[in-house]
Structure 1
Amino acid sequence: MNPTPAATIVMPFLNEEAALKHLLSTTPADFALVLVDNGSSDASRRLVLDSSAVLLDHDRFREVGACIELGVARAQTDVVCVMDCDATVDMSDTRQLLRPVLTNEADFVVGTRASHSAGWTLAHRASSRVRDSLTRRVVPDWPFVDLGSARAFRRSAIDWSRAFNTRFGWNLDFTVQALESLSPDRIASVELPFHRRLGPSHISGSIAGALTAMVDQSRVLRLAQQRTKVARHESHNKSIALV
């Protein structure tokens, strides 16, 4: 009988043959792997089928967030890591990301990109700076110096009844809502090396992908701002009622 894995790594993918060859061969033996195909036409599916990973399908194009949620729902463990399937985060570094959750020091951890990383280009830095600046206007207590693509969390600590962005805004939405619902001392960040991706990008590598990401993230921040206004209004009304 195989021992229960320590954590489950979830990755959505779309034509990531080059990255999967590397990732599948370097996954830690004590971690389970759930991969969600978003309509691949290359050899990605065959590589996953030939591995010990669980393969799921989600056919609605560009619904990265929906792919992630599908994978998380099938995770074998309460502790989960979500990351891009492009090898920008090395499998050997997932243990460092997951450690605060596995040792019960945190319930939600963001993997920030190390500033010296070869894969963190000027374009990445510029877009990150703009997004983080806009996010801080909506979330004043935003604690992260960067918002990488990798997350580690405890499923039982997250409210899954709340709707998350189903496309490219999922990571930002998930992080903002975690900040809204969890105690600050249960949230952490871990700096990770950020490598050059293996294969072309489906977001920054195309105009359509980049625009979709911008629209999705703007929608996430707009909804977060609305929730903040509602919370302030309810708090104000409670204060008046107590007087």
Structure 2
Amino acid sequence: MEVAIILPAYNEAFTIGATLQDFHRAMPEALLCVVDNNSKDATAQVAAETCAKLPGCRFQVITEKRQGKAFAMRRAFTVIEADVYVMCDADSTYSAADLPALLNPVLADEADMTVGDRHSQGHYLRENKRPLHNFGNNLVRSLINRLFNAHLHDILSGYRVFSRSFVKSFPILTAGFELETEITLHALDKRFRILELPIAYQDRPAGTFSKLSTFRDGRKVLIALFSILRYNRPLFFFGSIAALFALLGLGIGSMPVIEYYRTGLVLHIPSAILASGLMVSSFITWAIALVLDSVVRVHRHEAERQLMELESTRRR
């Protein structure tokens, strides 16, 4: 059973060595893969030198010039062939000691994706020094759980284990740190088995700096969320817009209607025209929602068929 541990890294020369040593101690037989994501420091060199000193270490350094964690993981998923894939940040915030617990359900075919949950035991809240990140995490989690009727605790965890079927059926369409959101939405939409397990979490070592920007990356995550909602839940997305148009149309149109019944005249003609336009827009948007919902159902059917083919190939 080939296990690949993938560490996307951008300017992580200070922490990559310790991260590799930690994972090698936890699972010496695994393939360690560092994806150097256009680093300006000696990340790739330190990674290669560290792995060369570890006894029996199997490692691979991949270069991805396109900036963004999603590009790095896309490159790794394309190049590396394994039975199980581990994704983890290279900044020493996660512990390799939690790897066996995350691996076992996937190895036992009890889950398609396990997620390191930083929140249930309060580790993230204690270690994170950026209050707005906590607010953003809670907002994204609440939106996804409500929209997909899920009960997940950590939507944005960067420590995950995937089955081969999950990886090979997952088209990465984003570019940056909204990757974790896309992974979660893909798993929920395609009905993969998700298991969250509590893990330890610590803030980045002193002297290193996070690549995350609270407002920039938060905006990207929310845009990705609504984009994927538009593509995967078009009936809800466009149906909500149709309902909004209908409510506005009824609200604005009520005044000319009441006026007509009272006086026999329509004095607020612009309001009547606007209300009519809103109601027509509502009907058109609702029709679009129904058509796109049918398209999505066909797409889900095709995705299920492809997943069955992947599973059949894996078991041969």
Summarize the Cα distance change of 1:233–1:58 in structure 2 as closer, same or farther, 3 Å threshold: same
Match of 1:181 among 169, 190, 195: 190
In the other structure, the counterpart of 2:239 is none
In the other structure, the counterpart of 2:5 is 9
In the other structure, the counterpart of 1:144 is 152
Q: How far did 1:19 drift?
A: 1.6
Summarize the Cα distance change of 1:131–1:237 in structure 2 as closer, same or farther, 3 Å threshold: closer
In the other structure, the counterpart of 2:15 is 19
Match of 1:65 among 39, 45, 70: 70
In the other structure, the counterpart of 1:96 is 101
Unaligned runs of 5+ in 1: 204-208, 239-243
Q: How far did 1:110 drift?
A: 1.4
Contact 1:113 1:120 in 2 (8 A): no
Letter in 2 for 1:25: Q
Contact 1:79 1:101 in 2 (8 A): yes
Q: How far did 1:158 drift?
A: 4.5
Match of 1:107 among 108, 112, 118: 112
In the other structure, the counterpart of 1:154 is 163
- CA deviation map 1:49-68 (0-9, x unaligned): 2214211111122x210101
Contact 1:168 1:217 in 2 (8 A): yes
Higher relative contact order (CA 8 A, sep 6+): 1
**129-138 or 26-35: which moved more?**
129-138
Give the match's secondary structure for 2:44: helix
Q: How far did 1:201 drift?
A: 0.3
Using the alignment, how far apart are the partners of 1:39 and 1:66 within structure 2?
A: 11
**Larger Cα-atom Rg:** 2
Q: How far did 1:230 drift?
A: 4.7
Using the alignment, how far apart are the partners of 1:58 and 1:20 within structure 2?
A: 16
In the other structure, the counterpart of 1:32 is 31
In the other structure, the counterpart of 2:290 is 233
Q: Percent identity?
A: 21
- CA deviation map 1:14-33 (0-9, x unaligned): 11122212111122202211
Match of 2:223 among 219, 226, 229: 219
- CA deviation map 1:201-225 (0-9, x unaligned): 011xxxxx33331232122211222
Summarize the Cα distance change of 1:175–1:88 in structure 2 as closer, same or farther, 3 Å threshold: same
Summarize the Cα distance change of 1:81–1:34 in structure 2 as closer, same or farther, 3 Å threshold: same
Alignment of 1:78-93 (within 5 A): 78-93=83-98
Contact 1:11 1:71 in 2 (8 A): no
Q: As a proportion of its length, which structure holds more helix?
A: 2
Contact 1:138 1:221 in 2 (8 A): no
Letter in 1 for 2:63: D
Match of 1:116 among 110, 122, 127: 122
Q: What is the count of residue pairs matched by the alignment?
A: 225
Using the alignment, how far apart are the partners of 2:102 and 2:39 within structure 1?
A: 28
In the other structure, the counterpart of 1:54 is 60
Q: As a proportion of its length, which structure holds more strand?
A: 1
Q: How far did 1:178 drift?
A: 1.0
